[in-house]
Amino acid sequence: MKTVSNKSNLEVLHEDNHLIVVNKRVGDLVQGDKTGDKPLAEVVKEYLKDKYNKPGEVFLGIVHRLDRPTTGIVVFAKTSKALTRMNELFSNRETRKTYWAVVKNQPENTQGQLVHYIKRNEKNNTSKAHKKEVPDSKLASLDYTVIKELQNYFALEINLHTGRHHQIRAQLAAIGCPIKGDLKYGFDRSNPDGGIHLHARKLSFTHPVSKESIIITAPVPNEVIWKAVVS
């Protein structure tokens, strides 16, 4: 059974005057959508309002997003200055993002680079990874390394070079290695909590205001297979 984040159980990984970084749970929606479910952004606002006893509205800027079934690092800005500068860091690819994924089937090589052309389908909210460029597609690139062989699965560490819609999910599916629980991209059954085994594990960047080097690591979910990856 999944436990979504609320202001009492919010897992804060880093906080300073300008940023707050949290460990997103399965089912957390980063930004509000048509479901009407309370987004993580609102939960973080409630947390800050309570913690600092703030009257009135709390400023919180969404720097980037993670898919709802994915877990791990999400960065929010507490000031407009930090929001503008963090947006620039992300759009200029001046951050280093590392993900962990648990997949079915072993990739052909224990490490390598995947380069595809991703085309998004707005109607069903999926993306397809093509070997060659097709109309309206965007170049997508990542590096992966097999970090652990499990009983029935393989754990990969992934470094993104581009930030395309469902990029990791689509590219791994394209090489016959769908992520555990990811029905949308070819895995044969869903996970009990409705999530997928994709975790935003690590993020490195230069702080937008203090200019210090920030490295954040998100603990994996408290779940049997993730525990096997880190054991």
Residue-wise pLDDT tens digits, 102-133: 999 999 999 999 999 999 999 999 999 999 99
pLDDT of residue 31: 87
Residue 36: what pLDDT? 81
Domains and CATH numbers, the chain: 12-230 (3.30.2350.10)
Residues of the chain with pLDDT under 50: none
Residue 134 structure tokens: 């097709």
The radius of gyration of the chain from alpha carbons, rounded to an integer in Å, stands at 18
Token look-up 């652990």 returns 148
Specify the pLDDT at position 2: 63
Q: How far apart are CA 41 and CA 32, in angstroms?
A: 8
The amino acid sitting at 98 is T
Q: Which of 59, 66, 64 is nearest to 95 (CA)?
A: 64
Q: Which residues on adjacent β-strands are paired with residue 20?
A: 15, 76
Q: DSSP E strands: which ranges in 41-160?
A: 61-62, 71-77, 96-103, 111-121, 126-130, 138-149, 154-160
Beta bridge partners of 140: 116
pLDDT at 33 (0 to 100): 81
